[in-house]
Chain A
Amino acid sequence: MTVGHDAGAPSGAPAAIRTRGLTKVFKGGQVAVDALDLDVPRGSVFGFLGPNGSGKTTTIRMLLGLVTPTAGDHALLDRPLAEALPSVGAVVEGPAFYPYLSGEANLLRYDAANPASSARDARSRVGQALERVGLSAAAGKRYRAYSLGMRQRLAIAAALLRPRELLVLDEPTNGLDPQGTREVRALVREIARDGTTVFVSSHLLAEVEQMCTHAAVMSHGRLVAQGTISSLHGGRPALLRVETPRAAEAARILDGLGLAEVTAAGSHVTAELGGHAPEEINAALVRQGVPVRGLAVVRPSLEEVFVGLTGEGFDVDG
């Protein structure tokens, strides 16, 4: 069941990530990912949502060639994986570095592993990556001495070692302070502005809502929704909320205007807005002498959409 299948990405458009029937059954029969059809359009900032254990990291591992799928196909940047990977930056399940090396030496190590990187400009690229994540001052410090947030930043810096066409970030703001979170969000936007596709898995729904153009929702290894953020919202109606001392009268008027689900309670009335313009409803209420103390259109948050799709209660999938 896929709601709001992205109408903006017609078939054949360049995809940053595309999977068909991607499935992973671990030894012991654990179905971590179940027939996943994911389409991440180029240039999008794509939020990958799902409760703990819903299969996000496993999907990312399969995309990056770390885990062999049990079934199905996948492609990054429409290229064979070995050719695509040099243009893909990734943070997978938190940072991992050599504790006895400095931040700079760690980045040089990962850069050396990329056959497409040249040794000549390695130092300057490492310096730029460190600067981008605000770690220039700690470049010479041993990784062992880094704080959690510094480690997370270093992992993002490793993903930014080269100009990338695609960034895959598995919970990049994990462990960051609010300011760090904001900075990462700004960084992602900046990167996206340069045309890089960003695929970011996260628990922080507000964060996804703020920085993503698209999102997909996983539950128990299955994809339950994917599309643009607005199309995901589109699945749930916007609500009209009127605050007035004469609630019963207002409810009658809204009913008369043809709004659905009108309910009056105490000093306010709510109804589904549907296709009506809020200003016309306001005018109609005032025309009929109902004092309007306040009028608001409430759109459901992504969190409500998310909970609606993955089930009430934030239980771990497994």
Chain B
Amino acid sequence: MSTADISAAGTSTAGVSTPAAEASAAGASAAGTEVLGQAAASARTAGRSGGVAAFARLLGSELGLTFRRPRNLVMLALLALVPVLIGVVVRTFGSDGDAGGIVAATAGNGLMLTFVSLYVLVPLLMPVAVAVVGGDAIAGEANAGTLRYLLTAPAGRTRLLAVKYLNAVVFSLALTVTVAATALITGLALFPVGDVTLLSGTTVTMAEGLLRTLLIVGYVTAGMAALAAVAMALSTLTEIPIGAVAGTVVLIVVTQVLRAIPQLDWLAPYLLPTRWTGFDAVLRDPVATSDLGQGLLAFCAYTVLFGSLAWARFTSKDITS
């Protein structure tokens, strides 16, 4: 057996996802090629139909970990508490003249509490929760050493990253829905319910108000998902999950500070936090679709950019933990 026959025998056509797999693809020996080639071919056809099921199974396992983890449940519960607090405060103390129009409107219509709650939570608290889940995604597994067992299982690096990202997106959705739902329930319980006055002064039916709430939930989820991509990219850079989480939170705070500097106004449209609160476009009449569209495009750009950074880093990284 010489080095020459090894490197000459590369017959791999499999969609390998790890860098080392490509090297070994070139290492398949000529002797085993025919039989193994057939076996591989049948494995691939089976894999294609079973691939989706296997992916769903891993995603299910990931979601199970995320939503059974006490830390994450506590975060969801704390954020769900905020709308209740706001509702109780507005109910108890009323909204005096100084309160913003939207808070004052809450006293008149329970549905408004949903918008107020999201407006309060979207700039910092919800992003922090998403940063915890996103920043933990890869670094947490690396820190626990479980990453090496997942990858030898073999989870596949691209596949694992995709599952981790989808998991963070589902968490973002769950978080937004939790906040919106508790706000809605609190609002219905504490305040009168009826037609909804939009920011433009137009009045729409309760049903349309709920529909617009759904739109907002979708938009905010997309914004949080974009942040999850940023957190995930940081997560591939370190083996210390707290580092990735703290890094993401620092980024959020820094961008919020940058937004507040008038000289940097030109930068604001490109910053995620500017776009997060852009959900108020849904509350105008007519819906400011171009603002919404630009917001979604910005989320898309962040997701693609940081997603590809995370992918490039993670698929070429040495796992030494």
Q: Check A115/B47 contact, CB under 8 A, given A82-B14, A100-B69.
A: yes
Cross-chain contact of A81 among B20, B60, B69 (Cβ < 8 A): B20
B21–A69 CB distance below 8 A: no
A92 within 8 A of B: yes
B25–A80 CB distance below 8 A: yes
B1–A14 CB distance below 8 A: no
Q: Check A20/B18 contact, CB under 8 A, given A65-B154, A75-B24.
A: no
B321 → chain A closest CB, angstroms = 9
B92 within 8 A of A: no
Closest B residue by C-beta to A10:
B1
A97 within 8 A of B: yes
B145–A83 CB distance below 8 A: no
B318–A67 CB distance below 8 A: yes
Annotate A43-57 by CB proximity to B: 1 below 8 A, 0 otherwise. 000000000000000
Write out the residue numbers on chain A whose beta carbons fall within 8 Å of the beta carbon of B210: none
Annotate A5-33 by CB proximity to B: 1 below 8 A, 0 otherwise. 00000011111001011000000000000
B263 within 8 A of A: no
Annotate B11-42 by CB proximity to A: 1 below 8 A, 0 otherwise. 01011111111011111111111001000100
Other A-B pairs, 7, CB within 8 Å; known A74-B23, A115-B55: A20-B7, A61-B148, A85-B154, A97-B146, A115-B50, A115-B154, A119-B57
A227 → chain B closest CB, angstroms = 14
Number of A-B residue pairs with CB-CB distance less than 8 Å in the complex they form: 183
B65–A81 CB distance below 8 A: no
Closest A residue by C-beta to B44:
A83
A96 within 8 A of B: yes
Write out the residue numbers on chain B whose beta carbons fall within 8 Å of the beta carbon of A74: 20, 23-24, 27
Annotate A62-84 by CB proximity to B: 1 below 8 A, 0 otherwise. 10111111000111101111111
A110–B23 CB distance below 8 A: no
A112–B47 CB distance below 8 A: no
- Give residues of chain A (168-195) contacting chain B, Cβ–Cβ below 8 Å: none
Measured in the bound complex, the distance between the Cα atoms of B86 and A25 in whole Å is 58
A147 within 8 A of B: no
Closest B residue by C-beta to A22:
B23
Write out the residue numbers on chain B whose beta carbons fall within 8 Å of the beta carbon of A240: none
A82–B18 CB distance below 8 A: yes
Closest B residue by C-beta to A89:
B152
B21–A80 CB distance below 8 A: yes
Most chain B beta-carbon neighbours within 10 Å: one of A18, A73, A79: A79
- Give residues of chain A (84-123) contacting chain B, Cβ–Cβ below 8 Å: 84-86, 88, 90, 92-94, 96-101, 108-119
B28–A115 CB distance below 8 A: no
A233 → chain B closest CB, angstroms = 24
Write 6 A-B pairs (CB below 8 A) sorted by A numbering.
Answer: A14-B32, A73-B6, A79-B36, A82-B16, A88-B152, A98-B146
Measured in the bound complex, the distance between the Cα atoms of B320 and A94 in whole Å is 13
Most chain A beta-carbon neighbours within 10 Å: one of B1, B14, B69: B1
A75–B20 CB distance below 8 A: no
Q: Check A96/B14 contact, CB under 8 A, given A12-B1, A112-B60.
A: no
Q: Check A81/B149 contact, CB under 8 A, given A113-B160, A115-B50.
A: no
Q: Check A78/B29 contact, CB under 8 A, given A67-B318, A96-B148, A113-B150.
A: yes
B61 within 8 A of A: yes
B12–A90 CB distance below 8 A: no
A112–B57 CB distance below 8 A: yes
Closest B residue by C-beta to A12:
B31
Binding site for A on B (CB under 8 A): 1-3, 5-7, 12, 14-21, 23-33, 36, 40, 43, 47, 50-51, 53-55, 57-58, 60-61, 65, 69-70, 144-146, 148-156, 159-160, 316, 318-320
Cross-chain contact of B155 among A18, A61, A75, A113 (Cβ < 8 A): A113
A104 → chain B closest CB, angstroms = 13
Most chain B beta-carbon neighbours within 10 Å: one of A80, A86, A98: A80
Write out the residue numbers on chain B whose beta carbons fall within 8 Å of the beta carbon of A62: 20
Write out the residue numbers on chain A whose beta carbons fall within 8 Å of the beta carbon of B144: 96-99
A130 within 8 A of B: no
B20–A113 CB distance below 8 A: no
A39 within 8 A of B: yes
A255 → chain B closest CB, angstroms = 45
A158 within 8 A of B: yes
Most chain A beta-carbon neighbours within 10 Å: one of B15, B20, B21, B316: B20
B148–A66 CB distance below 8 A: yes
Annotate A220-249 by CB proximity to B: 1 below 8 A, 0 otherwise. 000000000000000000000000000000
Measured in the bound complex, the distance between the Cα atoms of B148 and A110 in whole Å is 11
Write out the residue numbers on chain B whose beta carbons fall within 8 Å of the beta carbon of A109: 61, 65
A243 → chain B closest CB, angstroms = 48
A68–B155 CB distance below 8 A: no
Measured in the bound complex, the distance between the Cα atoms of B146 and A100 in whole Å is 13
